[in-house]
Chain A
Amino acid sequence: MMEIILSLGIGALAGSGVWLILRPRTFQVIIGLSLLSYAVNLFIIAMGRLRTGAPPVLTTPAAGDPSLYADPLPQALVLTAIVISFATTALFVVVLLASRGLTGTDHVDGREPEP
């Protein structure tokens, strides 16, 4: 059940992200990029196998059976990916504003299409 909900969620996020990236306005593109990066982050977590109630760090000094524990590595990866995508999104917003200021339009090509 958990797997189905998560994969549906990833699919919905990725699908709407891709659709938005292909739109002509810069704001739509940036929202699309954010949605896509959420989908990717969830996907990375899912690649560490989905399970509930398993601790990610060894709780006793003696190393036990690793299959009893959640994989901590994807969580560390997701943390890095979130930080990086946050930074690049912020950078993209700046460029987007510069483009809006220089060209006077929010179209991705810098000019309105001919009607």
Chain B
Amino acid sequence: MADHLMIAPVVLPLLAGAATLLLGERRHGLKAVIGVASTFALVGIAIALLVTSDAASDGSTSAIGVYRLGDWPAPFGIVFVVDRLSALMLLLTSILGAAAVVFSLARWHRAGAHFHSLFQFLLMGINGAFLTGDLFNLFVFFELLLAASYGLALHGSGVARVKAGLHYIVINLVASLLFLIGVSLIYGVSGTLNMADLAARIPEIAAENRSLLEMGAGILGTAFLLKAGMWPLCFWLPTTYAAASPPVACIFAIMTKVGAYILLRLWLLLFGEAAGEFAQFGGEWLLYGGMATIAFGVIGTLAAQDMARLCAFSVLVSSGTVLAAIGMGQVGVIEGVLFYMISSTLGIGAFFLLIELVERGREPGADVLAVTREAYGEDDDRDEDEDQVGLAIPVTMGMLGIAFIGCALMIAGLPPLSGFIAKFALLTAALNPSGMTQGGGSVPSASWALLVALILSGLAALIAMTRAGIRAFWAAPDRAMPRVAVTEMVPIAALLILCVLQTIQAGPVMRFMQATAHSLHASRDYVRAVLPPAEQQVRKAGGT
């Protein structure tokens, strides 16, 4: 029974999505109940999987669960693999999903057809991509999550969404074709699609086929980098994310992390230390591409005219940081980046939800107007302020303001919230490649570059967020009071409380991240778990 829990993150949303699809369009209540129940059940399942995968806590023995579909032996059938990283990403997805689905109950789930069905299918695709141990199966799950995301990006309709959605769909269809080319090249060279089998075979690839394999890996990597939003493949991202409806944008915050997850998993598995001549293949591309992404995102956050675009560019900064840190290829940096990935995704998700509440009371175009005023120095409403000294701040505005400060601290990475701890852990590891206790040793120049990029991106995020906050909360002369439902405030508060918990419990969380990073680097354990040694010997003896 415990074994079958591994496939539940895929089966449960599939059933829930199908069930809501069969219900009539008018039965919003029942659909919402099914959607919410399924999403919260996913949180529970993810926690259970996380606890199971962390059972061997010393980090040496592998706690990798393998689920063979149809009980076919590994290289021939499809396997699902649950290790610490997968379970962690599952939990993150389901938490964001729960926040988004609760938020949508206030009004957004009625803005278009089949919101809950598409949402469940999206969760299914994301969970499947985190679980699968097979390259082609990964392609199928990617297509699933993309197909659902096309529908969700257009949710609520409108010219801006359809225009952004059109570009988003074309870009992702091209990326899927690149994905297929890469997968088939790798298959043509190595004769397998199973990730573990591939990792075992890569050191044995003949010299004349090496460039073909590198080409395949490069093309495949391009497809993932496009999803992860690396510069210069990221121009579609800010427009799409800023145009999407808030709950959808919140769950989209995890989608760039799907690309980053796959890179982390495949790159360390296929091109880790065990890969012989291929070790660290393409690492510099990740490092410098990631830094270019940070730079582009920073410029974007500073130039953004409204909060949704600001947040979309913060997504780019976040994924740039993750990519650059993966490119460093050190165990310690990976620990930090996992911590960073969790906290930045939670923060950005909460911010996407918050934006709509803050903007609700304002006239459309108020931001552009404010910028114009700044530029031309018009101060036409100076007099009104005199009467407002000592004005009581309404509770709603106070709540929104506190949530905004929380999001700003998370995104800029300032103390006391977990964004700071994440950046601190990342930089400590990058500057001390040999560990904190051993002083001395030269620091590679890449680490300095990463340090500068991270500090500058934090500063830029702080400036941009402060400016947006001042405009939204202090300098809006004639704003109507936003009416906010409890179901809209609770998810934001919950996400931020999770960030606070991550800060308070930083020790245990960090220990888990360390175990995760070490098991990621021990790629032999992964191979051994998926392909038991006995089977490997049989296969070798039979002649492959």
Contact = CB atoms under 8 A, between A and B. Distances in A.
Interface of A: 21, 26, 29, 33, 36-37, 40, 43-44, 46-49, 73-74, 77, 80-81, 84-85, 87-88, 91-92, 95-96, 98-99, 102-103, 108-110
A21 B180 contact: no
Contact of A95 (B136, B154, B176): B154
A99 B173 contact: no
A110 B167 CA distance: 10
B170 A33 contact: yes
B169 A102 contact: no
Interface centre among B147, B159, B166 (most CB of A within 10 A): B166
Nearest to B212: A47
Given A80-B136, A87-B147, A36 B174 contact: yes
A35 to B, nearest CB: 11
B513 interface: no
A96 B166 contact: yes
A84 B140 contact: yes
B238 to A, nearest CB: 16
A95 B167 contact: no
Given A44-B180, A80-B140, A109-B163, A95 B169 contact: yes
A33 B174 CA distance: 7
Contacts of B139: 81
Contacts of B136: 77, 80
B150 interface: yes
B181 A91 contact: no
Contact of B184 (A77, A92, A110): A77
A102 B173 contact: no
B236 interface: no
A81 B180 contact: yes
Contacts of A88: 143, 146-147, 150, 169, 173, 176
B177 interface: yes
A98 B162 contact: yes
Contacts of A74: 184, 187
Nearest to B178: A40
A84 B143 contact: yes
B162 A99 contact: yes
B188 interface: yes
Taking residues whose C-beta sits less than 8 angstroms from the other chain, chain B's interface range is 20 to 34
Contact of A108 (B154, B166, B193): B166
B198 interface: no
Contacts of A84: 140, 143, 176
Contacts of B188: 46-49
B166 A99 contact: yes
A91 B166 contact: no
A110 B159 CA distance: 8
Interface in B183-220: 183-185, 187-188, 193
A21 B373 CA distance: 42
Given A73-B193, A91-B150, A99-B163, 5 more contacts: A37-B177, A46-B188, A85-B173, A102-B158, A103-B163
A91 B147 contact: yes
Contacts of B159: 102-103, 110
B187 A36 contact: no
B128 interface: no
B147 to A, nearest CB: 6
B165 interface: yes
Interface in B118-148: 136, 139-140, 143, 146-147
Contacts of B166: 26, 95-96, 99, 108, 110
A87 B146 CA distance: 12
A29 to B, nearest CB: 6
A55 to B, nearest CB: 19
A88 B184 CA distance: 20
10 contacts: A29-B170, A47-B187, A81-B139, A88-B143, A88-B150, A95-B154, A95-B165, A99-B162, A99-B166, A110-B163
Given A33-B170, A108-B166, A110-B163, A40 B181 contact: yes
Contacts of A33: 170, 173-174, 177
Contacts of B162: 95, 98-99, 102-103, 110
Nearest to A87: B147
Residue among B139, B165, B173 with the highest chain A CB neighbour number at 10 A: B173
A21 B173 CA distance: 11
Contacts of A109: 163
B150 A95 contact: yes
B175 to A, nearest CB: 11
A78 B185 CA distance: 13
B159 to A, nearest CB: 5
Contact of A91 (B157, B163, B169, B185): B169
Contacts of B151: 91
Contact of A47 (B143, B158, B167, B184): B184
Nearest to B154: A95
Contacts of A37: 177
A77 B184 CA distance: 9
Contacts of B193: 73
Contacts of B163: 99, 103, 109-110
Nearest to A100: B162
A88 B174 CA distance: 11
A91 B176 CA distance: 15
Which 5 pairs of residues, A with B, have the shortest CB-CB distance? A47-B188, A47-B184, A44-B184, A110-B163, A84-B143
